[in-house]
Amino acid sequence: MLNLTHPESIPTTQSLWKKFLPWFYTKTVHIGADEYDKAKVDYTRFVNELASYINKQPGKSSSIWGTFTPKGGANISTDVAIQHWAFYEGDPWSDYFANNYEVINSDMEIYTVPKWSAYFRQSLDQQLIFTGNTSGGPFAPNILDLGNGTNNPPPYKQLGGDLQQSEYKQLFEVLQPAVPGQNLDRGIPSVSETILEYDYQKAGKEVVDDRSGNNYHGKNHGCETG
């Protein structure tokens, strides 16, 4: 954890973002800033200065996890979006919406940790998704409080459809293989446990044949072989 009272903490963090921010293609980048339990004034200064630095970059804005609320003593800029995840960290309607913050809804009921977690789900709750609207019907992003419909902002226009829960499994099996960006482990398809096998003694001047059966042939860039 950073020591936010140290004078070099903010400049150092800004230098890291200067290096890595161009790698992010999204408009909004998340700077974390969660579960801090020290002085709110130091936390506020850190978040506001770092967010200001990011927001000044062309086409970029910033968000943080909901941690300290305005009534709890924080004075986070409303230029920073708040990602709600737990009511014990703040009420998204009265603490954030009412104070003119943009809110990202990732309440613990829809928060998932795909690999493993003893606390969070590994997949979405289908029953919640299809019947979680406090007014009846499917869940929607404006539903922040699953137990109290009066504690939610009004619904707003969003993309949707008439997919029924009984139809979901069959449709998911068709669509899931085509969803991009799923290979988070960077796994490499292979016909066996051997991914690559190059014999440099028999390599050609231009191509290095892959003998693993995967046909991951290499290209020789002027190296001597044989």
Kindly state whether residue 14 falls inside one of the protein's structural domains: yes
Place of tokens 């009846």: 136
Please check the confidence at residue 184 and state whether its pLDDT lies above 90: no
Does position 43 have pLDDT exceeding 80, yes or no? yes
- Whose tokens are 């539903």? That residue is 143
Do you know the residue count of the chain? 226
The CATH number given to whatever domain includes residue 74 is 3.20.20.80
Range of the domain at 65: 9-159
Q: What is the mean pLDDT of the chain?
A: 90
Residue 226: pLDDT band with limits 50, 70, 90: low
CA 158 to the chain's CA centroid: 20
In the prediction, which pLDDT does 158 show? 65
Q: Is 175 contained in some domain?
A: no
Task: Assess whether pLDDT exceeds 70 at residue 64.
Answer: yes
State residue 157's pLDDT score: 67
Supply the pLDDT for residue 159. Answer: 62
* Number of domains comprising the chain: 2
Q: Residue 65: beta bridge partners?
A: 83
Q: How many angstroms separate the CA atoms of 91 and 158, rounded?
A: 23
Q: Are residues 131 and 193 in the same domain?
A: no
Would you place residue 48 in the very low, low, confident or very high pLDDT band (cuts 50, 70, 90)? very high
DSSP class of 155? P
| Res. 37 pLDDT band, cuts 50 70 90 | confident
Domain assignment present for residue 170? The answer is: no
40/80 same-domain check: yes
Domain presence at residue 165 = no
Among the candidates 118, 139, 159, a domain finishes at: 159
- Cα distances (angstroms) measured from residue 79 to each of 47, 114, 117: 11, 31, 32
Point out the least confidently predicted range of 54-58, 121-125, 157-161, 181-185.
157-161
The pTM assigned to this predicted structure is 0.74
Separation of alpha carbons 215 and 213, rounded Å: 6
Q: Are residue 67 and residue 127 in the same domain, yes or no?
A: yes
Domain match, 195 and 137 both: no
Domain shared by 47 and 149, yes or no:
yes
* pLDDT at 100 (0 to 100): 95
- At residue 116, the pLDDT reads 81
Rg (CA), the chain: 24
Q: Is it the case that residue 193 has pLDDT exceeding 80? A: yes
Q: What are phi and psi of 177, to 5 degrees?
A: -65, -20
